[in-house]
Amino acid sequence: MATRNQAQPALEAGPDRALEGKVSIITGAGQGIGRVFAAAFAAAGARVVVADLDAENAWKTADELTGAGYHAFAVGVDVSDESSAEAMVAATMERYGQVDVLVNNAAIFSALTMKPFDEISASEWRRVIDVNLTGVFLCCRAVAGALRQEGGGSVINISSSTVLGGRPNYLHYVTAKAGVVGLTRAMARELGSHDVTVNALMPGSVDTGIPRDSAQPSAVDQIVASQALRRRLRPTDIAGAAVFLASDAARAITGQTIVIDGGMNFL
């Protein structure tokens, strides 16, 4: 997990306004890919709720966006806690009166140490599942009423391409991210009659600037060599797909999983 004093890359914004007027909650948006999602959504015209367990980082991101002339505010949230997820949505409704988009990005990954599955403690297993899978469920459940009230909207769940390769030594993480795909498909069926789309993104290995056990130079070189695109992926490579799925251009796309891993896996 990044420290509060860790240098973060500058937020980049583009001219597209595909999300004009939409209110978007993005979890895990205080750092890493979520932070770039927040900037991309704001640049596309959305009013962004920067939600993160680290409220200080969340407010830092929100303040940068408002300082750049965008609409944003921050909420501290533990996605694995039912009441915290509900409070996040309540704060959004109080501030903006609507929710149009939920991006379930919050997850435990960088803090994990690679280890054989039979060395993963039951408590560590539960914590990863609680945040990476149950957290998605709780946030979706908390926002469902607001999306129905709005008469439509978008849910974008962040899975991982580690599911496709069955990456070893991260069994709890891979299992949770596989569950996100199943949740996405079933929820798309349940919310489709309310004109709510539910889709998943499967990022590959992305350089977020956050140190992690699996991103040693030799491992990164092997990952890049296995991709069709022989370059390190950046958060901006993922953000464009998220903006598209949240936009009206993707209103007929639901229950789908889009792999963004530089061509490591083909579906």
Amino acid type, 194: H
CA angle 246-74-20, nearest 5°?
Answer: 30
pLDDT for 202-251, tens place per residue? 999 999 877 656 566 778 889 999 999 999 999 999 999 999 999 999 99
- Asked whether the beta carbons of 245 and 199 are under 8 A apart, the reply is yes
What are φ and ψ of residue 25, in 5° steps?
-95, 125
Distance CA 242, CA 74 (A): 20
Distance CA 63, CA 48 (A): 11
Report the candidate in 239, 253, 151 with the shortest Cα–Cα distance to residue 203. Answer: 239
pLDDT for 132-147, tens place per residue? 999 999 999 999 999 9
Confidence (pLDDT) at 9? 55
**Three-class secondary structure of residue 253 per DSSP:** coil
Amino acid type, 117: F
Confidence (pLDDT) at 118? 97
Confidence (pLDDT) at 78? 98
- Beginning with the edge strand found earlier in the chain, give each strand of the sheet holding 23-27 in spatial order: 72-76, 47-52, 23-27, 101-104, 153-158, 196-203, 257-260
Confidence (pLDDT) at 44? 97
Distance CA 257, CA 193 (A): 20
Distance CA 35, CA 42 (A): 11
Confidence (pLDDT) at 4? 41
Question: Could you tell me the residue ranges of all domains in the chain?
Answer: 23-260
CB atoms within 10 A of CB 182: 12
Element (H, E) at 100: none
Active site residues: 173
CB-side neighbour CA atoms (13 Å) of 210: 19
Per-residue pLDDT for the chain (267 aa), expressed as one digit of tens each? 344 444 555 565 444 699 999 999 999 999 999 999 999 999 999 999 999 999 999 999 999 999 999 999 999 999 999 999 999 999 999 999 999 999 999 999 989 999 999 999 999 999 999 999 999 999 999 999 999 999 999 999 999 999 999 999 999 999 999 999 999 999 999 999 999 999 999 999 999 877 656 566 778 889 999 999 999 999 999 999 999 999 999 999 999 999 999 999 998
Query: Any idea which fold 23-260 has?
Result: Rossmann fold (3.40.50)
